[in-house]
Amino acid sequence: MSRSDTSGWPVFTVAPADPDARTGRRAIYLHGGVYCYEIDPVHWRFIARLAVETGATVTVPIMPLAPRGTASVVVPGVADLTAALVDEVGAANVSILGDSSGGGMALAVAMLLRDRGVAPLGATVLIAPWLDISGTDPRLAEIAPSDPWLAVAGTHAAGALYRAELPESHPYVSPIHGSLQGLGPIVLFSGTRDILNADAVRLVALAAASGHPLEYHEGVGMIHNYPILPMPEGEAARALIVAAMGR
């Protein structure tokens, strides 16, 4: 693993130790933490395994946290980093991945790149993504009693710090309101005991209505972020993510 600094952000690069195992593909991973918490050892272990199992070189930006790091600064900054990878190896060889708030950011960045005229990325992988910070979906109240991890009030408060001057409906913070047209294929994971499953189900419906390619994997009875956790269901989900990154 190596580190560089871009616009004052630490940016780490994770690649297989054996140069012969590297495929030349690139990926950018955006960590979760409701925009307010730093990257966790669980994230690093997951990222390292992705690099080893795919042969991809994974870029991991450590974005400034809210309230200092707001959407109007962070989303364009991550888009710049991703565009640089596209310039190196071509859009078809670049994947963008994120979990939780990082999953929402990944979709927002993919949309911004599309708006800038960048070709569709090879894969956009959304792991338990937070796609609507408004907290107004009626299904949230249905799911909340079975979610041991997230609470609607806490996520809404964190989302307010991150969006700052932007409205809750802005695609930078709630990409559920953006268009999927012109994006590459999306692979989506969500557990049914996760309040963010409400966002996932809405995105699946939007993709179906617009004919956009979206591969949905729903973990019945699974909690938030299960694909990155050290559990059998997480192992199975990671194998699907590895496959998506290699297409």
For residue 136, the model assigns a pLDDT of 92
Please report the pLDDT score of residue 112 as a whole number.
Answer: 98
Please tell me the predicted confidence (pLDDT) of residue 1: 86
- Sign of CA pseudo-dihedral 131, 137, 140, 142: negative
Cα gap 175→57, rounded to integer Å? 26
Q: Which domains does the chain have, with CATH numbers?
A: 2-245 (3.40.50.1820)
Q: For each of the chain's 247 residues, which pLDDT tens digit applies?
A: 889 898 789 999 999 998 888 999 999 999 999 999 999 999 999 999 999 999 999 999 999 999 999 999 999 999 999 999 999 999 999 999 999 999 999 999 999 999 999 999 999 999 999 999 999 999 999 999 999 999 999 999 999 999 999 999 999 999 999 999 999 999 999 999 999 999 999 999 999 999 999 999 999 999 999 999 999 999 999 999 999 998 7
- Structure pTM? 0.97
- Tell me, what's the pLDDT at 11? 97
180: left (phi over 0), alpha (psi -120 to 50) or beta: alpha
- Looking at residue 6, its pLDDT comes to 83
Residues 6+ apart with CB under 8 A from 215: 185, 186, 187, 188, 244
Q: What single letter denotes the amino acid at residue 195? A: I
Would you give the distance in Å from CA 202 to the centre of its chain?
16
pLDDT at 64: 96
Cβ atoms of residues 207 and 126 within 8 Å: no
